[in-house]
Each structure stands twice: as structure tokens, then as C-alpha cells.
């Protein structure tokens, strides 16, 4: 956004074209997770905790390397370990770094009733503003990725910020910085898409992963965290990555048609009784006037 200040579109008393006019700059950022080169070292988990100031949570042992079953309000970055048995009987250990996907059409934001509690920046980051959060948890229901988590102590909801504080200062997210294999990349959305497609093609052509591909689900308008998967046809193998995520239909119905119908019905009802009163007036029991006065 600061770049826009240096981009000239008109120049006074200038003959000829404006240098740089019509130039398109990509403000959208993106994190690329190449699951094919992840070694499951969890450096990203630790870096996330360190940067965001959370202490390490208790681990849950479940016959796998996975730290805990799912992300927590104070544990935003979790590598999901999945043992997948292939058709030929060989085993494949699928590791996927799970975190907020920063959807272009965020279900959390759509479901949120509190003004200013969730914002989406022009660079694509979807960020919770906890000072405005009322702790209703509608974002939990709106998210197709099971990311927002309720803190019982703060009574508010937290999730990965894509290190908005670092990115706004020109730094890459903490997880990216910590990754030792280079399976995590950070850059503009266009660059990352390009890199991801390139890597997927490489996997298909040279590594025998015929179904390798990029996970950038169009159902939520694309995401600002994208994956390279060995098997893009079965993303659910990677710790329940949804195949075709959408903002839930009931959230859309509620925030769309139901809101209109409901608002019209409430206003119509209030107007209706008012007009009825103007037209017909109250029901007064005739003898009442006499007897009531008699009582007094």
C-alpha cells in the first residue's frame, strides 16, 4: 500500500505518456506450503509460538508425531501427520502444516456480528481484532477449515494472523523464517501460484506423482495460504483438508435472504399493527365505560 504513494498516474503540464501508468502491482501476499518437502520438524510450530508470545502447550500422544489433535486458541500452527496406505501397499507419511488459510471470501468474517472484530486487508490477510470480539463464536461456525478457536480465559476467539505485524513491516511470517527445508515460501499471490504450479508440474513429470497439484480452493475465492500436494485429488488425506470448501450454505442463507425476509417482516409487522390501529382503533367494551366509572 505504501507503494501506491510512489506510483504516478498524472503529471501536470507533461507532454507524452506518464511513465509507469497502467502498471499493475500485486499487493496480495501468499504463503506456499509444499507438503512434498516438509520433514515434519515442527520448527514452524515453535517459531509461531515464540513470535506470538505463547508458551508450549501440552502435547497429546496419539500414536503419531502430531503435537495435538487440532490447532488451539494459543497454538495456531500445527503439522498434521497422516499415514496413508497407497494402493500398492506402501506407506506414505503425509505432513501438512495446518493454520488459517486466509480465504479471499472468509466465512468467519461473513458470520461475525461484531463490528470491526474481523478485518480483511488488501494484501489478503484476514485478521481478528480481539478488542472488538464479543466471543459469540459465530466465526467458528462460519469457517470451513476448523481454524478459529475460543479461549476460555479471554472469552474471545483467536487464530493465525499470517504474522500481519511482521508482514506489514516487510518481513516474512515467523513460520517461513524458521523452515529449514524451504518447503515454506512467502511472496505475492501471483509469484506463489507460479512457483506452486511449477513445483506441481515437476512432481508430475519427474517424481511420478501423477495427481500432484496446487490447493487454492475456488469455493472460498482462493486462499492466501496455498499447498502443493502429491495427491491434489484427495486433499482430505492430509488431515482433513476439505475437498471443496465453501462458506456454509446456512451462514449464507442467514446473512442473505433470511436477513431481508426477516427485516421486511419486522418492519411490515410494526407498520401493519400501526396502520390497523389507525384504521380500526381499539376494542373498547361499551358497558365498560359506564361500569368502570361506576366503580370509581
Partner 1 sequence: MNREPYLLPNGRVLRYSFHERLIHWLAAVPYIYALLSGLAFWSPWLFWIAVILGGTTIARELHPWFGVVFVIATWLMYGMWGRQMRETPSDKAWWANIGHYIRNEDDQMPSADRFNPGQKLLFWGFVGNGVLLLISGLILWFPQYVPWSLRFLRLFAVIVHPICALLTIALFIIHVYMGTAFERGAFGSVIRGDVSRAWAHEHHRTWYERLLRESAERK
Question: What are the residues binding partner 1 (CB under 8 A)?
Answer: 70, 111, 113-115, 134-138, 140-141, 146, 149-150, 152, 155, 240, 248-251, 253-254, 258-259, 261-263, 265-266, 269-270, 273, 276-277, 280-288, 291-292, 295
- Which residue number, 91 or 285, has a Cβ lying nearer to partner 1? 285
- Which residue number, 187 or 240, has a Cβ lying nearer to partner 1? 240
* In the complex, least distance from residue 250 CB atom to partner 1, rounded to whole angstroms: 4
| DSSP 8-state symbol, 118 | E
* In the complex, least distance from residue 270 CB atom to partner 1, rounded to whole angstroms: 6
Smallest CA-to-CA distance from 160 within 59, 48, 68 is with: 48
The answer to whether the CB of 128 falls within 8 A of the CB of 122 is: no
- Which residue number, 201 or 275, has a Cβ lying nearer to partner 1? 275
- Which residue number, 218 or 256, has a Cβ lying nearer to partner 1? 256
Which residues, at least 6 apart from 119, have a Cβ–Cβ distance to it below 8 Å?
Answer: 109, 126, 127, 129
**Dihedral angle at the C-alpha atoms of 55, 58, 62, 63, nearest 10 degrees?**
70
- Which residue number, 70 or 105, has a Cβ lying nearer to partner 1? 70
d(CA 160, CA 100): 6
d(CA 231, CA 269): 55
- Which residue number, 86 or 286, has a Cβ lying nearer to partner 1? 286
Among all chains, which residue has been given the C-alpha cell 459465530?
138
Partners of residue 128 on adjacent β-strands: 118
How many Cα atoms within 13 Å fall on the side-chain side of residue 290? 2
- Which residue number, 56 or 277, has a Cβ lying nearer to partner 1? 277
Q: Count other Cβ atoms within 10 Å, centred on residue 171.
A: 14
**Kind plus residue range of the DSSP H or E element containing 214:** strand 213-215
Pairing of strands 213-215, 78-85: unpaired
* In the complex, least distance from residue 143 CB atom to partner 1, rounded to whole angstroms: 10
* In the complex, least distance from residue 137 CB atom to partner 1, rounded to whole angstroms: 4
The CA R_g of the chain, rounded to the nearest whole Å, is: 27
- Which residue number, 47 or 111, has a Cβ lying nearer to partner 1? 111
* In the complex, least distance from residue 160 CB atom to partner 1, rounded to whole angstroms: 17
* In the complex, least distance from residue 153 CB atom to partner 1, rounded to whole angstroms: 12
* In the complex, least distance from residue 131 CB atom to partner 1, rounded to whole angstroms: 10
* In the complex, least distance from residue 62 CB atom to partner 1, rounded to whole angstroms: 15
**Kind plus residue range of the DSSP H or E element containing 225:** strand 225-229
**Which DSSP string corresponds to 184-213?**
EEEEEHHHHHHHHHHHHHHHHHHSS-TT-E
Amino acid at each position: 500500500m505504501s507503494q501506491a504513494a510512489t506510483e504516478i498516474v498524472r503529471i501536470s503540464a507533461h507532454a507524452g505518456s506518464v511513465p509507469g501508468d497502467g502498471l499493475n502491482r500485486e499487493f496480495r501476499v501468499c504463503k506456499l506450503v509444499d507438503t512434498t518437502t516438509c520433514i515434519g520438524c515442527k520448527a514452524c510450530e515453535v517459531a509461531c509460538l515464540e513470535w506470538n508470545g505463547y508458551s508450549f502447550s501440552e502435547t497429546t500422544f496419539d500414536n503419531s508425531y502430531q503435537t495435538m489433535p487440532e490447532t488451539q486458541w494459543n497454538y495456531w500452527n500445527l503439522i498434521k501427520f497422516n499415514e496413508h496406505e497407497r494402493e500398492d501397499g506402501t506407506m506414505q507419511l503425509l505432513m501438512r502444516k495446518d493454520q488459517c488459510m486466509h480465504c479471499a471470501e472468509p466465512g468467519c468474517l461473513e458470520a461475525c456480528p461484531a463490528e470491526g472484530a474481523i478485518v480483511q486487508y488488501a494484501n489478503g490477510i484476514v485478521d481478528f481484532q480481539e478488542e472488538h470480539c464479543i466471543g459469540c463464536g459465530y466465526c467458528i461456525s462460519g469457517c470451513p477449515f476448523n481454524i478459529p478457536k475460543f479461549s476460555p480465559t479471554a472469552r474471545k476467539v483467536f487464530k493465525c494472523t499470517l504474522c500481519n505485524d511482521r508482514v506489514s513491516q516487510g518481513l516474512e511470517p515467523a513460520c517461513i523464517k524458521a523452515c529449514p527445508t524451504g518447503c515454506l515460501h512467502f511472496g505475492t499471490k501471483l509469484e506463489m501460484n507460479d512457483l506452486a504450479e511449477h513445483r506441481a508440474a515437476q512432481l508430475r513429470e519427474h517424481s511420478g506423482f501423477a495427481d500432484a497439484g496446487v490447493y487454492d480452493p475456488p469455493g472460498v475465492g482462493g486462499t492466501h495460504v496455498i499447498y502443493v500436494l502429491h495427491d491434489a485429488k484427495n486433499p482430505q488425506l492430509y488431515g482433513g483438508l476439505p475437498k471443496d470448501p465453501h462458506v456454509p450454505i446456512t451462514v449464507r442463507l442467514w446473512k442473505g435472504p433470511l436477513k431481508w425476509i426477516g427485516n421486511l417482516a419486522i418492519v411490515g409487522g410494526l407498520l401493519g399493527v400501526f396502520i390497523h390501529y389507525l384504521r380500526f382503533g381499539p376494542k373498547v367494551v361499551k358497558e365498560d365505560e359506564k361500569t368502570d366509572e361506576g366503580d370509581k
